[in-house]
Amino acid sequence: MLAVTSKDIQGWAPVASSVATSLAVLLALFGEQLRAWRRRPQLVLRRFDAASPDGWILEHRGEVRTAFVRLRLQNLGRSEARDVEVVIESLDDETPTDTAAEREALARDMAVGLAGRQLKWADRDTATISIPAGTARRLDLININESDALVTAEDARLVPVRVGLFAISASGREILPSTAFTLSVTVAGSNFAPREHRISVSFSGAWPVEIRDWATLQRSLVVRVDPR
């Protein structure tokens, strides 16, 4: 059996001290990273509940009515999300057409005008905002305007969908000649990783005869959100 002498212990002491110091540095480094990861902002884009008064708003301007559909961006994390923006990446048109070529051409034309554009925060005039932990902010997704009603060859009233862009252009790029489409958007900020969401919109194309609440509007306008 080997005997451990005091001289041996004295020889191991510097090694043990060095190992302990290295472990302490590693624990401090990774511990801080772990705490930062646990406290990071976590943003999820969702629809409002059907009974929520925040999911939509009906504005009257004279005889003209406009219905706005809104989403909520929730911060489920433990720290404030800073410089938050929601940017459109692409658009897929899903309106039935005579040929696939027509559908691709329509989607391409709409996507060119929307890609890279920011969606608008509800009731705010800034492109980016901060969202404290445990709170949510409203986002204007789309709106339909009664004055936009067009008369088709069949003498039917077709209401186009307007995307809620932060900066509206004179070209009217936010007006979509489509009743079914999917937007791919990215939620991004300065202190959290970006996250993609897909938003599907399906609209009957007709201004609802009666709009009393969100449930009434949803009979002709359906919105789904799929976080990636």
Domain boundaries along the sequence of the chain: 1-38, 43-227
What pLDDT, on the 0 to 100 scale, is given for residue 106? 62
CB crowding 166-202: b at 16 or more within 10 Å, else e: beeeeeebbbbebbbbbbbbebbbeebeebebbbebb
Residue 4: count of CB within 10 angstroms of its CB: 8
- The 3-state secondary structure of 179-199 reads CEEEEEEEEECCCCCCEEEEE
Q: List the structure tokens of 209.
A: 């005869």
Task: Give the pLDDT means over successive 10-residue stretches in the chain (228 positions).
Answer: 54 62 66 74 91 84 86 96 96 74 64 86 94 96 83 63 86 81 95 95 81 72 88
CB crowding 92-102: b at 16 or more within 10 Å, else e: bbbbeeeeeee
Cβ(188)–Cβ(84) below 8 Å: yes
What pLDDT, on the 0 to 100 scale, is given for residue 219? 77
Query: Rounded CA gap, 116 and 96, in Å?
Result: 26
Query: Rounded CA gap, 37 and 214, in Å?
Result: 38
Q: List the structure tokens of 132.
A: 């404290």
What pLDDT, on the 0 to 100 scale, is given for residue 30? 66
Indicate the residue type of 27.
L
Query: Rounded CA gap, 188 and 207, in Å?
Result: 34
Query: Rounded CA gap, 33 and 149, in Å?
Result: 55
**Radius of gyration (C-alpha) of the chain in whole angstroms:** 27
Beta strands in 43-98 (DSSP E): 43-47, 56-61, 64-75, 81-93
Chain centroid to CA 60: how far? 27
Angular region, 182: left φ>0, alpha ψ -120 to 50, beta rest: beta
DSSP conformational letter for 52: -
Cβ(211)–Cβ(205) below 8 Å: no
Instruction: Say if pTM beats, i.e. exceeds, 0.75.
Output: yes
